[in-house]
Structure 1
Amino acid sequence: MPEPSAAPAARTADAGPGPLPLPPVASWLAERGGPFASFAQARLVRLPAGARRPHLTAALQAVLDHHDGLRQQLTVPRPGVWSAEIRPTGAVDASAVLDGVDAVGLSDAALRDLVAAESERIWRLLDPEAGTLVRAVHLDRGPAEPGRLLLVVHHLAVDEVSWQILLPDLEAAHEAAAAGRTPDLEPVGTPLRAWTTHLLAEAQSPRRTAELDRWLAAAPGGPLLAGRPLDPSMDTAATARRLSVRISAERTAPLLQAVPAAFHGTVGDALLSALVLTVGDWATRSGRARPDGFTVDLEGHGREQELLPGADLTRTVGWLTSIHPLRLPLGAYDPTAVTAGRADAGALLKQVKELLRAVPDGGLGAGLLRYNNPATARLFDPAARAEILWNYLGRQTGRADSVWGPAPEADALSARPDPAMPLSHVLEITAEITDGDGGPELTAHFIWAGEALSQDTVGQLADGWTAAVDALAAWADGGTSAGYTPSDLDLVDLDQDQITMLEEMWRAQQ
C-alpha cells in the first residue's frame, strides 16, 4: 500500500479531462434499464436582492469549471453498457445552461406555479449522452426583492453530500463576481476521477474479495411484502405512490438524545430498529414470518476515503452513494410488548447496532464486487433484490428564509424520473430530521410500486413504524440504559453475553 505522502501526486495525475470509471451506483442505475436522462435532483435557493444574471453566470461558470463531475459525458453503445469521460474546463458554457425568467411582482402562489413549470421544463432538457447534466433558471424578482435560483443536476453528477459543496461554492463565486473579483474556489482534495479509478483497483483487492460470501449470503429470499417480484415493464415511476409522515418536535426530541444515549448508538440505529419491529409485526400478522429474517438495501454516503491513503473527498462532487444489503431479524421482537413496556427494547437496539457496525467500510464492497470485479460479478443473481430501500439522511440544517438557503417554494419543484423508468424497489423509505417551528422533527417518505404493493399495506407499515419509533422513545425517555455492546469496547475481546454479565455484576454491587 502506498505511503500517504504518495497520494497527492496520484490525485493530481487523475485531475481534469479523461476517461471516468463509473462508480458502482452508476452501474446499478444502468442495470435498471429504461429511460434515465431525467434521473435528477433539484434545489431552489433564495438569492440576494437584486442579484444580476451576469454575476450568476460567472459564478455558475466557475463552479462548472472547478468540479470535474459536472462536465462528464456519458456514452451508451447499447442498453446497460455505459462509459463516461470528463470534458475539458470550459466545455460547458454557463450562459447556455442558465436561463432567465421574469418573476417581478408575482404573488406567492404565482411564484410557486412558476417554479413548478420551470423545473418541469428544464428537467426535460437534461441529456447525459450530450453532456447536459446541469440546467439552471434565474427567477428575477427585480432589484428590491430576493430572486430565486433553480438548479437541476443529473444524479450521475451529484448526491446529497455534493449539494453541501456546490451551493456554498456558488454563493462564494457569486459574491466574488458581484464585487468585481475573479472567483477563486477552495481546491478539491481528491478529484472525482482519482477516486473512481481507485475504486476499480479496490474491487480487486483481497480485503474486498474476502467479503464475497458476506454479500452473497445477504441476498433476499424472495418477496415478503409484495406477492411478486418487480416487473420493469409494469412497475415504473408512473405507478409509484407516495406517503409522508411527520413526527412532532416533542416526540422527536427523545430520539435525538435519550434513545442514542440509552444504548450508546445513533438515531439511525434506532430508526432502523423501528423498521425491524414494524416489518416483523406485519409479517407475523400476515402469516409471512421467516426464521432467516429479511433483507433491506441501505444507502450510505460511499465516501470511505480512508481506503485511499491521503484521500480527501470533503470537496469532491459526484454520485458516490453506496448501496448494500443487510439481513435483519424478523419476528424476533414483539412490538406490542415493547410498546407496553413488557419487553426490553434495548436488546433489539443493540442487535441492530452491532449488525450495522459489522458492515465493513460502509458496505462499499457490495457494489464493487457486484459491478466492478468481473470475476465476482457473475456470482450475483441479478433477480435477487431486496424489496425495501432504506435511507436515513440525518439532520438537515438548511438555512431557511436566508440568502442562498432553501426557498419557501422548494416544495413545488418538479424534477422526477421519466414515467417509464423502472422502479428499483418495491418500497423506498427515506427518513430525515428537519427543523420545524417547535424544533427538530422526524419526517419519513414512503414511495412504493403501486401495482405490486397495496396502499393499505404501506399505510400499516407507516403507522407501525411511527408507533415503534414512539415506543422506543418512551422506553428510553424514562432514563433506561441498555448498556454496552462489543463495538463499544474495541480494546477488549468480549461478546454480548460477557458484557451483559459484567454489567449485571457491577449493578449488583451498587
Structure 2
Amino acid sequence: MTVNGKVDVRALEALASGGAPGADGAEAGARPATATERALWTIAVELLGAEPAGVDADLADLGLDSISTIALVSRCRAAGVILTARLVAASRSIRDLADAADALAARAVAAGTDGPAGPADEGVGAVPPLPIARWLLELRSFRRFTQTQLVAVPPGTGASGVEAALQMLLDRHPMLRATLTPDGQAVLTRPVGAVKAADVLRVAPGAAEATLAAEARATIDLVDPGRGRMLAALYLPDADLLALSVHHLAVDAVSWAIMLRALARPSEATGELTSYRRYGELAHRRARTDEVADQVPYWAAELAGAEWPLGSRRTDPARDRAADLRVATFPASPETTEILVGAVSREVGLRELLLAALGWAVRRWRPALPDVVIDLESHGRFDHLAAAASNAAASNAAAGAEQPLADDVDTSATVGWFTSVFPFRVPAPSEATASEATGSEVAGSKAVGSGETDGAPRLATEEGAALRRAAQATARRLAAVPNQGFDFGLAQSVRDDPRLRGAPVPPIEFNYLGRFDQQPAPGGWAPVTDRALHELLPDDPEPDLPLRYDLEVICAVGSIEGPSSPASLVTTLRANGNVLDAADLDALGGHLLDAVALLAESARLR
C-alpha cells in the first residue's frame, strides 16, 4: 500500500518479477513524469543541495530531517503543491510525495477548501504559552534572552532595503510584534503595524569584525519583550551583513529558516496559515486529554536517576547564571563530516549518530555515572497532534458548526518558539548486541583485523562498529518515545502533574540544530556561518538568565571558515563554570571527536 492507502502497483510489479520494491535499476533512476513530481524534484534539489537518484530514491539518504521537512512543506506551498509535515515523514520518495500531494489536493477540492489550513490566521491576542515558554516566563530574568543570526545582505540593498525587509517580517509574523502583559507572565500579539522596522534597526559603518565586536551587545540590549521589542537588528553596510537578534520567545531553529526563506523569496512567502497563538490554544486543549495523562508513568520512569551531577554539584537556578557559562567549540574535520553525513539513512539519521557519540563520550568522561539521562530538544512541529485536539473539539460542537479538515493545522510558515524538550536515556553500546551489526560492518571489521596485528587498529574498528550498533539502538528507542516527546511538556507544565513537576532535571541538554550547508538562499539573505564572526557575538546575551543544566551540547553542520569552505560538524559545549572547569570541557570534547571519528571510520568500511 502507498502512504495514502492505495495499492502500490509498482511494488506489486517488482515483487511479481522476483525483485524488491524499488530494486529495479531503471525504476530507481526514473525521472519525474508528472507536474507534481517535477515541482517536488526541483524543490528537493534546491533544499537538499543534491539530486535524488530517481523519483523512487529515499530522500532521507540526502539528509531530509525534521527541520528541512518544514522547509520542504513551506516551499511546496509557495509552488502550489500542498503537503503536511506528517505526509512528508510518511513518504520515502518524490513519487510517494507527489501521490500524497495529489490526493490531498483532490480532497481539498472535494471539501471546497483552499487546503489543510484554509485561509491565513491573524493570530492576534493572548498567547497560551507552550511548555518551553512557560518555563522561561517563570524565570523572570530573561529580557535579553535572544538568538542572533548573521545574514548576508544582497549587495546594493542599502539601509532602506533592509528596513523594508524587516518590516515585511514584522507584518507577516505576529510573534515578532508580541509584548508581555504588565505582570510579565503572559504574551500578547498585536496587530500589523504595531512595530516599525525603523525603530528596531541600527546602521553602523565599518569593517565587520570591529563593528560586531563593538555593537553586537548594544544591539541585543535593545530587545525588551516587556516594551514590545521582540527583535533588534544591526546592519553593517560596508560588509553587506545583518545581525538580527530575536527574543527566544518568538523564534526557534525552524523559525529562522522560515524568515530567511521569506527574505530571499519574498514573492513566494505566505502568511501564517496557523498562528502560534492558535497552536498554543490547541496544545493546551490536548494537555487535558487522557492520552497525555496516561503517559506520565513512562516519563517518570525516564527521569529516574536524572539527579546525578556531572561535576562538584548540580546546577542551581537560584545561584547559577548565564554569566557563569564556560564555552568551548570542537569542529570535526571536513573529511570526517562528509563521511558521517553520507552515512545517514531513514532509520539512523545524523541526530541518532550524534546521540550515540555523546553517550559513548560521557561514559568515558564520567565512568561512574550510572546512566546517561539527557534532556533532548526536538524542533519538530506536531501539527497532526494539534489538529487532533481541534477535531475533538469540533466533534463536540453544536450541530451545524463549521467542521475543519482532519489536518486543519499548518505551521510550515509560522514563526515562534515551538521547541519541545523531553527526557531520554541514551543506550550504551552494550545494549546493542553484536547480532544487530550489518553484514558489511562485520565484514569490514574482519578485513581490517586480518591486515593488522592485534592492537589499536582492530580495537578501533570494533569500537566503531559497536558505536554504530549503539546508534541503531538509539534510533529504536527514539522511535518508541510517545509522540516524539511532544506530550512530556504538556503533562509536566500545562497539566502540572506533581510526579513530573517535582522530578529532577537531567544534567545534560542535547540540541541538534541541523545542516546549514544544505540550504543556500538564491539572491542573498543566506545565513553566515563564519566561525570568526560568530565568536564576536556574546555567549551570554542575557547574563542574568538562571542556568538549568550542568552542560548543554549543541551540534550543527556548516561551513565555519566561510561560504566557500567545506562543511564541518561543529559541537559546542556550554557548561556551568561553577561546577565544570575548562579541563572538563577539553576532555569531553576530545572524547566526542574520537566518537565521531570512530563512527565515520565504521561508515567508511561498510
Q: Under a length normalisation based on structure 1, what TM-score does the superposition of the two structures give?
A: 0.80
Corresponding residue number in structure 1 for 2:60:
none
Corresponding residue number in structure 1 for 2:172:
66
User: How far 1:17 sits from its partner (Å)?
Assistant: 1.8
User: How far 1:200 sits from its partner (Å)?
Assistant: 0.5
Q: Secondary structure at the match of 2:547?
A: coil
Corresponding residue number in structure 2 for 1:478:
605
1:429 equivalent among 553, 559, 574: 553
The answer on whether the counterparts of 2:296 and 2:500 sit within 8 Å (CA) in structure 1 is: no
C-alpha separation in 1, matches of 2:459 and 2:411: 41
C-alpha separation in 1, matches of 2:118 and 2:136: 27
- Establish whether residue 51 from structure 1 lines up as the match of residue 129 from structure 2: no
- Establish whether residue 404 from structure 1 lines up as the match of residue 525 from structure 2: yes
- Establish whether residue 153 from structure 1 lines up as the match of residue 246 from structure 2: yes
Gaps spanning 5+ residues in structure 1: where? 174-182, 480-510
Q: Secondary structure at the match of 1:243?
A: strand
- Establish whether residue 283 from structure 1 lines up as the match of residue 283 from structure 2: no
User: How far 1:150 sits from its partner (Å)?
Assistant: 2.4
Corresponding residue number in structure 2 for 1:365:
487
The answer on whether the counterparts of 1:219 and 1:386 sit within 8 Å (CA) in structure 2 is: yes
Structure 1 50/478 Cα, relative in aligned 2: closer, same or farther at 3 Å? closer
C-alpha separation in 1, matches of 2:549 and 2:148: 22
2:259 equivalent among 151, 159, 166: 166
Corresponding residue number in structure 2 for 1:15:
122
C-alpha separation in 1, matches of 2:431 and 2:586: 21
C-alpha separation in 1, matches of 2:377 and 2:597: 24
The answer on whether the counterparts of 1:7 and 1:310 sit within 8 Å (CA) in structure 2 is: no
C-alpha separation in 2, matches of 1:117 and 1:400: 28
C-alpha separation in 2, matches of 1:11 and 1:74: 29
C-alpha separation in 2, matches of 1:477 and 1:172: 38
User: How far 1:331 sits from its partner (Å)?
Assistant: 7.9
User: How far 1:428 sits from its partner (Å)?
Assistant: 0.3
2:538 equivalent among 384, 396, 414: 414
Q: Secondary structure at the match of 2:374?
A: strand
Structure 1 87/349 Cα, relative in aligned 2: closer, same or farther at 3 Å? same
The higher-RCO structure (CA 8 Å, 6+ apart) is 1
Q: In the comparison of the two structures, how many residue pairs are matched? A: 444
Higher mean alpha-carbon deviation, 301-310 vs 350-359, is at: 301-310
The answer on whether the counterparts of 1:394 and 1:433 sit within 8 Å (CA) in structure 2 is: yes
Corresponding residue number in structure 2 for 1:202:
286
Write out per-residue CA displacement over residues 383-403 of structure 1, whole angstroms, 9 at most, x where no aligned residue: 611100001112112549973
Write out per-residue CA displacement over residues 164-202 of structure 1, whole angstroms, 9 at most, x where no aligned residue: 1112323445xxxxxxxxx78423221111111110111
Structure 1 238/131 Cα, relative in aligned 2: closer, same or farther at 3 Å? same
User: How far 1:472 sits from its partner (Å)?
Assistant: 2.1
User: How far 1:9 sits from its partner (Å)?
Assistant: 9.9
The answer on whether the counterparts of 2:328 and 2:572 sit within 8 Å (CA) in structure 1 is: yes
C-alpha separation in 2, matches of 1:449 and 1:188: 38
Corresponding residue number in structure 1 for 2:226:
129
Q: Secondary structure at the match of 2:151?
A: strand
Q: Which has the higher strand share?
A: 1
The answer on whether the counterparts of 2:116 and 2:409 sit within 8 Å (CA) in structure 1 is: no
Q: Secondary structure at the match of 2:245?
A: strand
Write out per-residue CA displacement over residues 84-126 of structure 1, whole angstroms, 9 at most, x where no aligned residue: 111111111222122333x2xx4xxx43111232221121111
C-alpha separation in 2, matches of 1:410 and 1:454: 23
C-alpha separation in 2, matches of 1:170 and 1:128: 23
Q: Secondary structure at the match of 1:77?
A: coil
Identity %: 31
- Establish whether residue 341 from structure 1 lines up as the match of residue 439 from structure 2: no
Structure 1 275/55 Cα, relative in aligned 2: closer, same or farther at 3 Å? closer
Write out per-residue CA displacement over residues 370-414 of structure 1, whole angstroms, 9 at most, x where no aligned residue: 11114x2x3224461110000111211254997322345454333
Corresponding residue number in structure 2 for 1:505:
none
C-alpha separation in 1, matches of 2:600 and 2:255: 32
Structure 1 347/406 Cα, relative in aligned 2: closer, same or farther at 3 Å? closer
C-alpha separation in 2, matches of 1:440 and 1:46: 18
Structure 1 153/86 Cα, relative in aligned 2: closer, same or farther at 3 Å? same
C-alpha separation in 1, matches of 2:186 and 2:474: 38
Corresponding residue number in structure 1 for 2:336:
251
1:91 equivalent among 178, 194, 208: 194
